Amino acid sequence: MNTLVKVARYHLVDRLQFLVLPVGVTLFAFLVNLTIFAVIPETPEENYSGGLFTLYVFMLVCGALSMTKSLPFGLALGVSRRSYYLGTILLVAGLAALYAVGIVVFQAIEEATGGWGVGLNYFRVPWLLNGPWYLTLLTSFVLLTLMFVYGMWYGLIYRRAAVVGVVLFAAAQVLVLVGGVLLLSWTDSWPKLGTFFSTLTVGGVTGVLALLVCVAGAGGFATMRRVTV
């Protein structure tokens, strides 16, 4: 068996964390939403609950756990940091694909049943996940991957520099954003940004998210190379 596959399998030894909990909690939140929408007497035609957000938060947490709790024993199994990281990325790709397909399938059912009979749009997110199925599949996949990989980076920073490191890491990202805002102001580019957003398509956003996946992935990998257990 290939080492990367073994690492992915290592994460799945405990199916609870990566499979049962994300799916279970998402479906649980769905049922709660369904119940509430079923008993609310009057609702507008289009209801978006936003409950699908749970799954994305879960991916973030799973990413962080894969690089904190699971790391020491993983590296004790004769695996290089590189293999451990790439094997985990393989797992991410698999999970994100699985869940993206799930979202598309549930969206189809949602549409066919007129929002589960009560006009609920649980698996359809306004604008972002509201287009043709292939675009939803792609955007879901990229966003789920981004959340997981971003979580991995946080986990690695925590491993490397504990809470102080995580706080500094978050602060550094805020500074980057502030820098961006200042740059926009100094160059009088706010109108341009407005135009950018007003012309932005879902496909374009997905592209930007994919770029962020690359940034987070590369940052995490660089951090991983110096991590000790």
Positions touching another protein (CB under 8 A) are: 1, 3, 6, 9-10, 13-14, 16-17, 65, 69-70, 72-73, 75-83, 225-226, 228-229
Name which of 53 and 73 has its Cβ closer to another protein.
73
CB of 69 to another protein, least distance (A): 5
Q: How many helices (H) and strands (E) does the chain have?
A: 9, 2
Name which of 22 and 51 has its Cβ closer to another protein.
22
Name which of 16 and 163 has its Cβ closer to another protein.
16
DSSP secondary structure string for all residues of 111-142: HHTTIIIIIEESS-BTTTB-S-HHHHHHHHHH
Nearest residue to 64 (alpha-carbon basis) of 95, 45, 88:
88
The helix (H) or strand (E) run that includes residue 150 is helix 133-186
Name which of 15 and 192 has its Cβ closer to another protein.
15
d(CA 76, CA 36): 48
CB of 95 to another protein, least distance (A): 16
Pairing of strands 47-48, 120-121: parallel
CB of 72 to another protein, least distance (A): 4
Both tokens of 182, joined, read: 């200042």
Name which of 198 and 228 has its Cβ closer to another protein.
228
CB of 14 to another protein, least distance (A): 6
Both tokens of 102, joined, read: 């799930």
The helix (H) or strand (E) run that includes residue 44 is none
d(CA 166, CA 161): 7
Name which of 79 and 212 has its Cβ closer to another protein.
79
CB of 157 to another protein, least distance (A): 17
CB of 13 to another protein, least distance (A): 5
